[in-house]
Each structure stands twice: as C-alpha cells, then as structure tokens.
C-alpha cells in the first residue's frame, strides 16, 4: 500500500516544519510536500530502519471513519465495496484490502480497523492512499446505505515507526503497545495525548502506525525523534524498504487494470468472500481463482548491479511476456531487484528472462517474494 502522483495543489502535512528543521530534502508527492531524504541519505536511512527504528510521516494518507448502528451494518457496507471479510474482523484488529471497480480492477488499497472498545463498535477506521483519497471517499460515500455514513478525519495526522527497535521505543511513551499482536489496533495514550495505534507497516519490519489529532503530531514526532534508537526516514528509503518486502505501490504495481488475483493478493481475500462473492468484480475474481489468471505479479532479480526501472520490458527470447512495474536497488539485498507482471505460464521462480533496460538486454530470473525475509511481530 502506498501513493502515486497527483495533479492537486501541493499541500503540507502538520509535520512539514519538523522535516525542514531536520534538513530534509522536500519534494512534491501525491499532492504534498514530503521529505524524500534527510542529510544522512537514503542508503543510511534504509539500513537504520532495518537495524533500529525509522520514523515516517504518512500524514498525507487519507483517514476516515465509517459509522453505523452496529458492526454488522458497517461491515456489510464496506464488504459491498471490497473483498475482505470485515464481518468476521474481531474487535481491535485490522485487515488489508482493496476498493474494487465493477470489473474487479483495483481503485485503491486500504487498511480497515475495527475498534477494540465496545462503546465504539459500529465504527471502522479506514486508511487510504493520499493520491486517491478524494476519489476514494467520494466513491465510498456514494455507495453507502442510508444507515451508514462516512466521516472524514482530515484533522488527524499519521506517523509510522518501523524497525526491530520500534516496539521498545514506542512503549517508552505508550506502554500498552508492547503486547499488541501483528495487525491489531488500539486506542491508547502517548504520554497524555490520545492516539489510535496499529501494529503493521510497509517495510517488512515490526512496526506501528500512530494516528493522532494534528495538534499533537509535532510533539509526538519530536519526542520519538529524540530517542537514540529512532531517526526520521524519507520517501526514498520507504520505497526501497517496501520493494525488498515485496509490497505493492498503488499506481505502479496495482491499479484499475489489475485484479487482486493477478497482483498475488489472494491472501487478502478470506475464504468466505472467495466463496460467497458479493463484491465488485467478484465473478471475474472467482473465475481467476478457479482457472488461474492470465498474468501474475512476480519478483525479478536482474544479474549484475544495474537496476531495471518501471516500464522495462520482460522477454523470453524475442517475445514480450510482461513489464516491470517497480524496480531499484535493494540495500539489504545488496543488489538490484524488481517486480512486474508476466504471463502466468512463466511466473515460476527460477524462470530465466531478459529485461530490456535502456534498449539493452539484461539477464534476470523470476524470484519469490519477499526478497528480504519479513520480520513482522508474531505472537508466541
């Protein structure tokens, strides 16, 4: 899950001044001025996150609440738009899913959290991508039943803390986070400031997302950044981390032309939904589940040191079998890596292919993902 470009006027998150004070190089991204890197540089930031705790501003992403009379009501409303089992989502847990078009293409990917507190049952917290949030919220609101409403949370900021030392760093200020399972979500306090904290992330490492009122964002950011184990991380390292983790970037690896099955996201469609359907594009997706899709998202490892970028052709012999959708250099992997779509018949790991990079052939192999083993927190 991530963000692509936007034509909207450039905005600033509540943490803009914090980034500038830290010497960040700011760039336009998804309609916002965002830090692409800090003075230490992308390579150092990437390695720091893998070894310590990286602090990310993700306040540009869209937050909203879906509100109805009870959980069954709001779950049915969102299940009519995405293929995840939200009805079976337990209190205090979250799921990754996709907003689907009528033909099964992906309008956006999103996180859906069910509050842990009984008095908040009947609400869901949605987090969507920045570049898509206006279209997403309009799409959702136009399709809700009369007894469910969408309440935007534009007053909230969002911070991610990722890496093997993230839990200890956050627990110094929000002790309740320490025993949270992976993909859980809780309301708690960071010091005296109320927050909603989930345990997941976009780096392949253990980590958290901290949602709070925008007025508290800079205080929480500065408090965490002052920890010796924590450093701010920009968009450059965020992208190399997610690529090593084999995670999709919306607008690149997934979009309206790709289905969840083609995108290798079948794991995000729980058994009941696969069987029952009842979501946009369900006939196509059920057909692909039964018969297999024509193409699949795969990992790719080029030989040598030259990266293959988005748009590079993937060939077997002289025949084009697909295209690269994300590519770059993996600092942890210590080599180039890429993702893309290929004809399903050639999707097996180890398949030898040729990438066309700057009009020159580059040998490569289809590879299993993630490229670097994930280290999400798993309950014992």
Continuous H helices in 13-70:
16-21, 42-51
Q: Which residue has the tokens 């009842």?
A: 278
Q: Which residue has the tokens 């580059």?
A: 362
The answer to whether the CB of 209 falls within 8 A of the CB of 200 is yes
pLDDT(222) > 70: yes
Its CATH class, for the domain covering 294-380, is: mainly beta
**Angle formed at CA 282 by CA 279 and CA 287, multiple of 5 degrees:** 165
Q: Give residue 6's pLDDT.
A: 45
**Angle formed at CA 90 by CA 84 and CA 91, multiple of 5 degrees:** 125
Q: Give residue 108's pLDDT.
A: 98
Q: Write the DSSP assignment of 5-18 as a string of letters.
A: ---SPPEE-TTHHH
CA 259 to the chain's CA centroid: 16
Residue 313 tokens, joined: 């052709």
The answer to whether the CB of 264 falls within 8 A of the CB of 297 is yes
Rounded to an integer, what distance in angstroms lies between the CA atom of residue 339 and that of residue 298? 6
**In the chain, ranges of CATH 3.30.1360.120 domains:** 11-62+155-244
Residue 125 tokens, joined: 């917290």
Tens of pLDDT, residue by residue over 151-190, are 999 999 999 999 999 999 999 999 999 999 999 999 999 9
Strands (E), 141-180: 149-152, 156-162
Residue 278 tokens, joined: 């009842």
Omega before 370 within 30 of 0, i.e. cis? yes
Tens of pLDDT, residue by residue over 243-268, are 999 999 999 999 999 999 999 999 99
Q: What number is the average pLDDT over the span 226-235?
A: 98
Q: Please report which confidence band the pLDDT of residue 5 belongs to, taking 50, 70 and 90 as the band edges.
A: very low
pLDDT(102) > 50: yes
First to last CA, the chain: 27
CATH tag, 11-62+155-244: 3.30.1360.120
Structure pTM? 0.96
Q: Give residue 268's pLDDT.
A: 98
Tens of pLDDT, residue by residue over 135-151, are 999 999 999 999 999 99
**In the chain, ranges of CATH 2.40.30.110 domains:** 294-380
pLDDT(112) > 50: yes
Tens of pLDDT, residue by residue over 305-341, are 999 999 999 999 999 999 999 999 999 999 999 999 9
The answer for residues whose C-beta is within 8 angstroms of residue 334's C-beta and 6 or more apart is none
Report which DSSP code applies to 205.
B
């Amino acid at each position: 899950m991530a963000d692509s470009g936007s034509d909207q006027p450039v905005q600033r998150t509540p943490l803009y001044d914090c980034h500038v004070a830290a010497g960040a190089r700011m760039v336009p991204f998804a309609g916002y001025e965002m830090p692409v890197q800090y003075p230490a540089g992308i390579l150092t930031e990437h390695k720091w996150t893998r070894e310590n705790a990286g602090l990310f501003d993700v306040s540009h992403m869209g937050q909203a609440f879906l509100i109805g009379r009870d959980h069954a009501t709001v779950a049915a409303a969102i299940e009519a738009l995405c293929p995840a089992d939200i009805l079976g989502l337990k209190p205090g847990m979250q799921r990754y899913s996709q907003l689907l078009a009528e033909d099964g293409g992906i309008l956006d990917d999103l996180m859906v959290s069910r509050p842990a507190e009984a008095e908040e049952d009947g609400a869901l917290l949605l987090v969507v991508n920045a570049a898509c949030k206006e279209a997403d919220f309009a799409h959702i609101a136009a399709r809700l039943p009369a007894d469910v409403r969408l309440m935007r949370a534009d007053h909230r900021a969002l911070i991610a803390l990722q890496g093997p030392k993230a839990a200890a760093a956050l627990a110094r200020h929000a002790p309740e986070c320490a025993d949270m399972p992976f993909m859980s979500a809780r309301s708690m306090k960071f010091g005296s400031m109320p927050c909603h904290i989930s345990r997941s992330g976009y780096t392949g490492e253990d980590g958290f997302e901290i949602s709070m009122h925008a007025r508290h964002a800079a205080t929480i950011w500065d408090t965490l950044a002052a920890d010796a184990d924590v450093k701010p991380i920009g968009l450059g390292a965020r992208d190399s981390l997610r690529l090593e983790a084999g995670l999709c970037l919306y607008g690149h690896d997934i979009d309206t032309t790709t289905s969840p099955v083609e995108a290798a996201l079948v794991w995000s469609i729980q058994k009941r939904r696969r069987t029952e359907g009842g979501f946009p594009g369900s006939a196509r997706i059920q057909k692909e589940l039964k018969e297999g899709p024509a193409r699949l998202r795969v990992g790719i490892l080029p030989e040598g040191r030259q990266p293959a970028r988005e748009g590079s052709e993937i060939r077997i012999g002289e025949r084009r079998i697909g295209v690269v959708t994300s590519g770059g250099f993996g600092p942890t992997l210590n080599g180039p890596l890429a993702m893309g779509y290929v004809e399903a018949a050639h999707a097996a790991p180890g398949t030898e292919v040729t990438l066309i990079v700057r009009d020159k052939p580059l040998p490569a192999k289809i590879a299993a993902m993630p490229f670097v083993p994930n280290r999400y927190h798993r309950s014992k």
